[in-house]
């Protein structure tokens, strides 16, 4: 479910701070609007897991500003590519979590019903 309150739809979602020169593409700052520790910390975790990342950190600029600054320094690759890979990894991970959770829930419900039938039969 990707729906977001439409009140924010006019504002930019993602900003990439402009580089001073082409050589700086391996260290960049991104501004993620309308995000907080929920995505920030998850993203920091997954990016830290990447061998291409030398540093990653995020901060909430001010409690009343609804955005985070994300800083990525890589060992050479363009930071944009590393961030993209981070989102892909996170998404793939969530997809597996979702299928696992839903099959567990289904399995639990089916067995629960079986138990109830057994209870009724025995009583």
Partner 1 sequence: MSHIDDIRQKIQLTEHTVFNVNSTNFPGTYDEYDDVWSQERFEERFQIDIVSLSDTDMEFDMVGVDAAIANAIRRILLAEIPTMAIESVAIWNNTSIIQDEVLAHRLGLIPIKADARLFEYKLKDAEQNTSEDTLQFRLKLKCTRNNISSDAKDPDILYKNHRVYTKHMEWVPLKGQEHLKGIRPVHEDILITTMRPGHELDMDLYCVKGIGKDHAKFSPVATASYRLLPEIRLLREFYGEEAELLQKSFSPGVIDLVETSDGHKMAKVANARLDTCSRNVFRHDELKDHVSLLRVRDHFIFSVESTGILPPDVLVSEAIKTLMGKCQKFLQELEDVTGTKGKHKKGSKKT
Report the SS3 class of residue 23: helix
Binding to partner 1 in span 30-89, by CB under 8 A:
32, 35-39, 41-42, 44-46, 48-51, 80, 83-84, 87-89
Q: Is 1 in the site for partner 1 (CB under 8 A)?
A: yes
C-alpha angle 82/79/93, rounded to 5°?
Answer: 20
Residues 104-123 as x/- pattern, contact with partner 1 by CB under 8 A: xx-xxx--x-----------
Using CA atoms, how far apart are residues 17 and 69, in angstroms rounded to an integer? 10
Interface residue with partner 1 among 17, 59, 65, 101 (CB under 8 A) is 101
Using CA atoms, how far apart are residues 27 and 78, in angstroms rounded to an integer? 8
Using CA atoms, how far apart are residues 102 and 120, in angstroms rounded to an integer? 27
Using CB under 8 A, list all residues that contact partner 1. 1-7, 13-14, 16, 32, 35-39, 41-42, 44-46, 48-51, 80, 83-84, 87-98, 100-102, 104-105, 107-109, 112
């Amino acid at each position: 479910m990707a729906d977001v309150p439409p009140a924010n739809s006019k504002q930019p979602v993602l900003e990439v701070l402009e580089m001073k020169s082409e050589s700086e593409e391996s260290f960049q700052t991104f501004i993620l609007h309308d995000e907080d520790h929920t995505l920030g910390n998850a993203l920091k975790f997954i990016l830290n897991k990447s061998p291409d990342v030398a540093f990653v950190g995020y901060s909430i600029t001010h409690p009343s500003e609804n955005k985070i600054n994300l800083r990525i320094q890589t060992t050479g690759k363009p930071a944009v590519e590393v961030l993209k890979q981070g989102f892909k990894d996170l998404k793939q991970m969530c997809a597996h979590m979702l299928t696992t959770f839903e099959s567990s829930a289904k399995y639990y419900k089916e067995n629960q019903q079986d138990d109830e039938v057994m209870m009724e039969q025995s009583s």
